[in-house]
Amino acid sequence: MSSHAHQFSMLLISLYVVTTSLSADTSGEVLFKEKCSYCHLETRPSYDKINTMVAPPMMGVLFHVQQSKPSKLEAVAFMSDYILNPHLSKALCQEKSINKFGLMPSMQGNLTSKEANIVAEYVYERFASKNE
Ligand code: HEC
């Protein structure tokens, strides 16, 4: 390899390192897209999607969370914890959802607790009903 080509590839490697470390503080929107939306639909399901759903749609999730945790603070705290430590004894969604889909798998190892908090904040802002 010529030394120019070598310098160029080193430049590409450092650019790659810089870009990947910048993404360390990923936004809630990106986290949701990457880590939640393949299970939780973002919109009301159309008839043909109902049969292939593997989790309750996100606005339905927020509806049930808000019924038990009316303040934003409680709702976000609940979800931040549930994402990493789901448990039957904590679940707020309808029993028929659990029977149909099973318990949510833990996102432990897939999201840090900081990211769990960021994504919980994001889903609250996007899917909670604000007319309390
Ligand atoms: C592999 C599929 C899957 C992924 C990925 C997933 N979930 Fe879930 N989630 C479920 C299922 C199934 C349920 C319903 C059963 C339950 O409540 O545990 C659920 C329920 C929930 C609930 C309601 C808990 C309750 O019962 O009160 C919240 C909040 C939630 N998910 C948030 C998230 C967020 C935020 C993400 C992304 C970080 C995520 N989920 C990723 C499958 C998933």
Has residue 108 been placed in a domain? yes
Provide the CATH number for the domain around residue 99. 1.10.760.10
Has residue 40 been placed in a domain? yes
**Residue 1 per-residue DSSP state:** -
Q: What is the pLDDT of residue 115?
A: 97
User: Which residue has a Cα nearest atom 29 of ligand 1?
Assistant: 79
- With beta carbons less than 8 A apart as the criterion, state whether 47 and 115 touch: no
Position 26 confidence tier, pLDDT thresholds 50, 70, 90? confident
Position 53 confidence tier, pLDDT thresholds 50, 70, 90? very high
Distance 24 CA to ligand 1 centre (A): 23
pTM: 0.84
Has residue 15 been placed in a domain? no
Measured between alpha carbons, how far is 92 from 121 in angstroms, rounded to an integer?
18
Q: Average of pLDDT values for 113-117?
A: 97
Distance 56 CA to ligand 1 centre (A): 8
Identify the weakest region by mean pLDDT among 15-19, 61-65, 70-74.
Answer: 15-19
State how many domains the chain has. Answer: 1
Has residue 123 been placed in a domain? yes
